[in-house]
Amino acid sequence: MSTVSLFDKTAVIVRRDLLTAIRYRTGFLLNAAGAITELAAFYYLSRAVGPGFRPEGLEYFSFLLVGTGFYTFLLMGVHAFLQTVQEAQQTGTLEVLMTTSTSPPVLVFLSAMSAFAANTVTLLFYLAAGLLFGAPLHPSLVASLSVFLLSVIIAVAIGLIAAALQLAIQKGSAVVWALGSVWFLTGTMFPVQTLPKPLRDLAQVIPITHSLEGMRLALLEGAPLRGVAHELLILAVFAMILVPLSLLFFSWTLRRARMEGTLSFY
Amino acid sequence: MPAVTLESVSKVFRHHPALFNWLGRERTGETRALDHVSLDVPSGSVLVLLGPNGSGKTTTLKLISTMLLPDDGRVLVQNFDTRSDSRAVRERVGFAVATERSFFPRLSARENLDFFAALDDIPRKTRPDRVDELLTRTGLRDAADTLVMKFSSGMYQRLGIARALITKPAVVLLDEPTRSLDPGSAAQFWNLVRELPTQGATVILATHNFNEAVAVGNHVAVLFKGSLAAERSLPATMRVDELRSFYFQTTGELEEVEPVVVRSVR
């Protein structure tokens, strides 16, 4: 496939998702309102907790802003893969999409990347609203982008595993559920250091823990690339393991669904 | 060289019931959808697949389109194997599926066609004209910018046919294409199908409608309980009642075909 046609395909997928999003008029507005309400709640929570509580030496509202914003972004990204397959199964488009000239992994990847793009807009909106609430951001651009990219690659891999599980057993939601239920281990709302030793160890094998740690260092403390090198290294190892594993698993489940005639089951 | 070849193709669907099957009564075992079916479809012909529900018509079409993979035997499209050259096969096949709602509901007919055309590698420059042409040919020109969630069953069906033709495929697969069409639209559609071989396409059409079979076909294959029960040419002079008799004699579904009784309505 040429770069031009890949670009063209990305464009039509983004256009499809954008048109679908804005044509759910109320849903679009509710999402924006939901994000602002959440931020307001965190703002007042941090005020109630008081200025004495400074996790990892950071002001608590900023800690919450980056933790919840980036955690939600990554979780929604994983969910996007699942949603891509689920919606296509429910609307009956999956089988048809699988007979186009575009290969299935590319198709699922592009669709999910489009959803990632939409989530990035939401994340930026969230961070911008956080600035209005007075969160002091000191971003280091290169370090932030590096953590962001590696985290997205890992989320893509986990998303592909969710999509594959959806094809195999129609329960890809288990991955999103599992990821969603370990939020308290990842340092989203309070530091990992406050957990007992066994849970702290468990937190280390969850990639999001390192994504949040790296992102806080880069966005709130202005840490340069060298300052986030430890987190980047761990994230790179996760990516090297998860990416090939997820591609193999997705290809296997897709072939299995074609053999068993269960592509459109949901 | 035949456009499509089935070489002793078998397809079995296995039923995996829930863990606690004693709570309900889900079917176990397997369904043999196709049993060593061999068939050559000559280039430029219109092959009509006849057979009762569950005889294997849709499974045959799905195997040719790569939606399904065979358990045994080979399916070749212009000599490309659906297992090993699935991309080459997908580039050559257009499939109008029986599932009406296999479109994105909040996109218009034009936007849906443009989306699928892009995934089928049609260059951006030529897409608008191709989409317009097909909307006109399928009688959807006036509804081109209507969101498809507002479409009737017949309109969905016509849009599905337009989508199948978007790449000017060498092989067009049509699964009960006129099921929801009014008589006028069906006749218009039959004209469109008759044109396709003159443009170099081979058509395989699954239907229960003998009028349709006689109107468009020049070959007929009868599937019964997953086996190829009979195959013959359909001369232009063949009458509907002759085909009906041939069908029932082949399948043995009715020992004797009752003459059609036309009642007068008072």
Q: Is B87 within 8 Å of chain A by CB?
A: yes
In this structure, is residue B89 part of a structural domain? yes
Is the model's pLDDT at B258 over the cut of 90? Answer: no
The whole-number pLDDT of residue B206 equals: 95
Residue among B11, B13, B101 minimizing CB distance to A91: B101
How many CB contacts within 8 angstroms connect chain A with chain B? Answer: 94
Examine the pLDDT at B60 and tell me if it is beyond 80. Answer: yes
- Whether residue B98 is predicted with pLDDT greater than 70 in this model: the reply is no
* Contact status of A259 with chain B (Cβ, < 8 Å): yes
Q: Does B13 touch chain A (CB under 8 A)?
A: yes
Number of domains in chain B: 1
Q: Which residues contact A61 (CB under 8 A, 6 or more apart)?
A: A42, A43, A46, A47, A130, A133, A134, A135
What pLDDT score does A139 carry? 86
Domain interval for residue B190: 4-103+169-251
Provide mean pLDDT across the span B118-126: 92
Displacement of CA B33 from its chain's centroid (Å): 16
**pTM, two decimal places:** 0.82
Residue B204: inside a domain: yes
Token match 């999956």: residue? A94
CB B89 within 8 A of CB B83: no
Local structure of B55: helix, strand or coil: coil
pLDDT per position as a tens digit, B162-198? 999 999 999 999 999 888 788 888 888 888 889 899 9
Token digits of residue A57: 């030496």
Minimum distance, in Å, between the CA of residue B45 and any CA atom of chain A = 22
* Residue B246's CATH number: 3.40.50.300
Q: Residue B124 falls within a domain, yes or no? A: no
Residue B202 lies in a domain: yes
Band the pLDDT of B259: cuts 50, 70, 90. low
The confidence score (pLDDT) of residue B99 equals 65
pLDDT tens for A70-128 read 999 999 889 988 888 888 888 878 888 888 888 887 888 888 778 787 788 788 888 88
Enter the ipTM: 0.78
Residue with tokens 């020049």: B218
Q: Which residues of B touch A19 (CB under 8 A)?
A: 106-107, 111
Stretch among A1-15, B72-86, B103-117, B129-143 having the lowest mean pLDDT = A1-15
Residues B27-41 have pLDDT tens digits of 777 888 999 999 999
Inform me whether the pLDDT recorded for A34 exceeds 50: yes
Neighbouring residues of A233: CB distance < 8 A, sequence distance ≥ 6:
none
State whether A93 and B104 contact (CB < 8 Å). Answer: yes
Residue A2 has what pLDDT?
A: 56
Instruction: Give the residue among B246, B240, B191 at the shortest CA–CA distance from B224.
Output: B246
